[in-house]
Amino acid sequence: MIEILSKKLLEYYDENKRDLPWRMNPNPYRIWVSEIMLQQTRVSTVIPYYENFLDALPRVEDLARADEELLHKLWEGLGYYSRVRNMKRAAQQILEDHQGRLPESYEGLIQLQGIGPYTAGAIASIAFNKVVPAIDGNLLRIYSRLHCIEESIDLGRVKKEVFALVLEDISKDRPGDFNQALMDVGSSICLPKNPKCHICPIGEFCQAFKENRQRDFPLRKIKAVQKKENWTFIILEKRGKFLIKKRPPQGLLAGLWEFLPFFSHLKEEEVKILIKEKGYTFKTIKELDSSQHVFSHKIWNMKAYLVEVEDQSLVMEDMSSYDSFCWASPEEIKEIYPFSSAMGKYVKEVLSDNR
């Protein structure tokens, strides 16, 4: 049965595999970049980021020496910015400890900053043809259905159980293709809510399908309720430039830029008073549409005001002399300063010609 499952999966992959840029030239560095980007991000979203990233940083050496602001700009919109900062640290490890070449073994890869069991398995199997599973959410979902695993796939012991099951099934000749075939089945057939069991290449081996229980799996832990926070962002404009603030180097959205934040929802009159207290004289004030951004652990409910100020404010000049503040043109905001996707709606407003 094991050999038949592997054979059916690889036949499906050979006939239906997606044409993805990292599959056309699967060198270790490119596989690494793609796998980090693909974490919690759709393939269609990743492709242009992947191509831009490799255009700017085509080698491990380039990544190791890259300026953090450039890294954030290349990553802008993907979220989870610690991933790209960890990639830089890992690239430095590779230069210092591995002569600029990614380790070939699972054990060596997992020692690198930011590379966990899944990424190590993916790189080792795809780039180096090592017989090792790459256990991601797709694969956990597939195997929880294949074997009707009656425990949460979030549990460490369940992940170890699935690792052992995959290790039994994996092709010894084509482990990378086997892992990628499972990724493709998980992304297009064995879907979380509405699995397409009638076209699944390994449906005949699926216990959940046989029992008509495929929608019962996988089991998951109940997620903690996300904390809700209200924020107001004031977008100050002077002579066509905007005052932006850099977030601290640690914590949420570390090192990214944003407009001036206030931890509550402010009414327009409160904004006017605040601006006067800071020594500004404003020409116009406009409330923008509200926005919401969902993080893994909290939700931001945001309001924003676009405020054009007079040129004479000394407080503004003093504030913008600090490293964490600067005046930026729309072109600089677009090309140089990285903003989180939480600011996406308001960045678009700043870049719009219809303000």
Instruction: State the catalytic residues.
Output: 35
Distance between CA atoms of residues 236 and 317, nearest Å: 12
Token pair belonging to 197 = 């069991």
Distance between CA atoms of residues 129 and 142, nearest Å: 22
Residue type, 189: I
**Residue found by looking up tokens 């290790």 in the block:** 167
Secondary structure, 3-state, the chain: CHHHHHHHHHHHHHHHCCCCHHHHCCCHHHHHHHHHHHCCCCHHHHHHHHHHHHHHCCCHHHHHCCCHHHHHHHHCCCCCCHHHHHHHHHHHHHHHHCCCCCCCCHHHHCCCCCCCHHHHHHHHHHHHCCCCCCCCHHHHHHHHHHCCCCCECCCHHHHHHHHHHHHHHCCCCCHHHHHHHHHHHHHHCCCCCCCCHHHCCCHHHCHHHHCCCHHHCCECCCCCCCEEEEEEEEEEEECCEEEEEECCCCCCCCCCEECEEECCCCCHHHHHHHHHHCCCCEEEEEEEEEEEEECCCEEEEEEEEEEEECCCCHHHHHHCCCCCEEEECHHHHHHCCCECHHHHHHHHHHHCCCC
